[in-house]
Structure 1
Amino acid sequence: MPQQIGKLKKLQTLSDFIVSKREFLGIKELKDLSHLRGEICISKLENVVDVQDARDANLKAKLNVERLSMIWSKELDGSHDEDAEMEVLLSLQPHTSLKKLNIEGYGGRQFPNWICDPSYIKLVELSLIGCIRCISVPSVGQLPFLKKLVIKRMDGVKSVGLEFEGQVSLHAKPFQCLESLWFEDMKEWEDWCWSTKSFSRLRLLEIKNCPRLIKKSPTHPTSLLHSVL
């Protein structure tokens, strides 16, 4: 990355911000880039050494960022700090104008609550990939307009229960707008519990390489056009 890119305060397009451990190329360089818009990928998040730097990045104020990827690329080893990575992800909460979110390689054991906050009324696509230390899936069923959900390589998940659907209002249904759902390479996943009111608009369901899964699919909604189990 160019040194001190954070001084380009009128910058609108930044497709990939590669985090460095060096102070002048750290994630806090995003702090004053309030005019960023469209799509941005923040990669090498394993290089965030101070959680305050993630807070200083101030993603929550970047209301024109519509598509966001957060990527950790470090191989998981004994030095991996699960708590620190959760604090980093918690601190990188984006603005509620977000439409698409992709998280890869995250090493925390659970996701922060903002990921399933119903205030993200514009969020239509969510991908959680390679988060192998997570022991549960977030309650994304309460995202009101989520249409596409991809969950891959979450080896720590053994069960997907009703917490996946979350708490919704009396007049709403879990996953009320979801049309496409992928589960792939879930090595330890064994069971899936769902409620009958979920997935009312599901059109595509794919479950691949989940060798231990016993109960493979919700009762097929009438909307379902294609499934791979």
Structure 2
Amino acid sequence: MLISATKRTSALPKLHHIQLLDFYKGKILEFPFADLVKLRHMFCRPNLKFRNLGRLISLQTLPSCFTVSNEQGYEVKQLRDVNKLRGRLDIYGLENVKSKEEALEANLAAKERLTELCLVWFGDDDTRCSPEVEAEVLAGLCPPVGIQKLVIHGYRGSRYPDWMVGKQSGGPDGLRNLQLQRCSQLGPGPQFEAFPHLRVLYIWCCSWDSLPGNMEHLTLLENLNIVGCKNIRCLPALPQSIEWFSLTSCNDELMESCKTAGHPNWQKIEHIPRKRFRQ
């Protein structure tokens, strides 16, 4: 059964067998129908908020991001039993998750039909946990094994979890696309031992002073994009498989050396057939 937002919404809670709702043309800002346990699909605007999402145990598509907050009904544990989700899941507001135990309540590993996952931290230092706690939170957010694309935005943890950097981690070892955005850690970027099948790596405005030293072992990597990383001055050895290399708004020294014939950085990308440099 399909119900449009043009119908009277006051009648919806009585229709327990609804499987699809279309709110795209509606003006509601919060989803008020958490008792529709048969609901599988929704179409809505991106800013729709979901209170008590955990009751929608049949839900397969979540067209808007789920934003975690300290308000009742928006805790990360609301995701625990919504395990039929498929496609992409965006989780915002992870600065409001305060421990690994709390993160584990999201039960992400059980969402086996997901293909893309986006984990987002926002907020300033006054609203964030310590780097040590934030590292524990990311450790508890291990994605399902079959995930193909992973985006991590705004992470400030002190380290990366075993499911990202360990050879036998229990995480998404078939990952094809990894995007790390505004990740702030001292020292080099994380080793990607857990992702041997990686084909696309996008690094945007991260504070590392160097790229991971093991990148030569990513023998299936085809596309490497580095944007706005001002502290990186040299490249590690890169795999022969790379077909596209893009360097945008990075450290001036790195940008210039990659275009200077004979420089060690130039030598490390000489084999790549397609390259782009933008200041």
**Smaller-chain TM-score range?**
0.7 to 0.9
In structure 2, the partner of 1:203 is: 243
Unaligned runs of 5+ in 2: 1-48, 258-263
Q: For residues 1-229 of structure 1, what are the structure 2 equivalents within 5 Å?
A: 1-15=49-63, 16-76=65-125, 80-117=129-166, 120-140=172-192, 143-155=195-207, 157-162=208-213, 164-165=214-215, 174-194=217-237, 198-211=238-251, 212-213=253-254, 216-217=265-266, 219-220=268-269, 222=271, 224-229=272-277
Normalised by the length of structure 2, the TM-score is 0.70
Task: Output the TM-score relative to the length of structure 1.
Answer: 0.84
Compared with structure 1, are the counterparts of its residues 183 and 76 closer, same or farther at alpha carbon in structure 2 (3 Å cutoff)?
farther
Name the residue aligned to 2:23.
Answer: none
CA contact (8 A) 2:235 2:268 kept: no
CA contact (8 A) 1:13 1:36 kept: yes
Alpha-carbon shift at residue 142 of structure 1 (Å): 5.5
For residues 144 and 194 of structure 2, the distance between their equivalents in structure 1, rounded to whole angstroms, comes to 18
The offset of 1:43, in angstroms, is 0.6
Change (3 A) 1:190 1:219: closer
CA contact (8 A) 1:110 1:135 kept: no
Structure 1 residue identity aligned to 2:149: K
SS at match of 1:219: helix
State the distance in 2 between where 1:144 and 1:201 align.
13
CA displacement, residues 98-147 of structure 1 (integer Å, 9 cap, x when unaligned): 00000000111321121245563431100000012353312126622211
Q: Quick check: 1:124–1:147 contact (8 Å CA) kept in 2?
A: yes
Determine the C-alpha separation between the residues in 2 that align with 1:201 and 1:141.
Answer: 17
Which deviates the most, 69-78 or 122-131? Answer: 69-78
Deviates more, 1:139-148 or 1:174-183: 139-148
| Cα pair distance change 1:30/1:141, threshold 3 Å | same
Evaluate the alpha carbon distance shift between residue 3 and residue 112 of structure 1 in structure 2; reply closer, same or farther with a 3 A threshold.
same
Structure of higher RCO (CA pairs closer than 8 Å, 6+ residues apart)? 1
User: What residue in structure 2 maps to residue 168 of structure 1?
Assistant: none
> C-alpha displacement at 1:174, in angstroms?
0.9
Is the Cα–Cα contact under 8 Å of residues 26 and 53 in structure 1 kept in the other structure? no
Task: Report the AA paired with residue 154 of structure 1.
Answer: C
Does 129-138 or 96-105 show the bigger shift?
129-138
Once residues 151 and 57 of structure 2 are traced to their aligned partners in structure 1, the CA distance between those partners, rounded to angstroms, is 25
- Deviations, residues 60-81 of structure 1 (Å, cap 9, x unaligned): 1111111000011113459651
Partner Cα distance (1:69, 1:40) in 2: 6
| Structure 1 residue runs of 4 or more that deviate by more than 6 Å after TM superposition | none
Which structure: larger Rg? 2
The alpha-carbon deviation at position 49 of structure 1 amounts to: 2.8
Q: Is 2:100–2:139's contact at 8 Å kept on the other side of the alignment?
A: no
SS of residue paired to 1:84: helix
Check whether the contact 1:202–1:221 (CA below 8 A) recurs between aligned residues.
Answer: no
Preserved contact between residue 179 and residue 203 of structure 1 (Cα < 8 Å): yes
Q: Which amino acid aligns with 1:144?
A: P
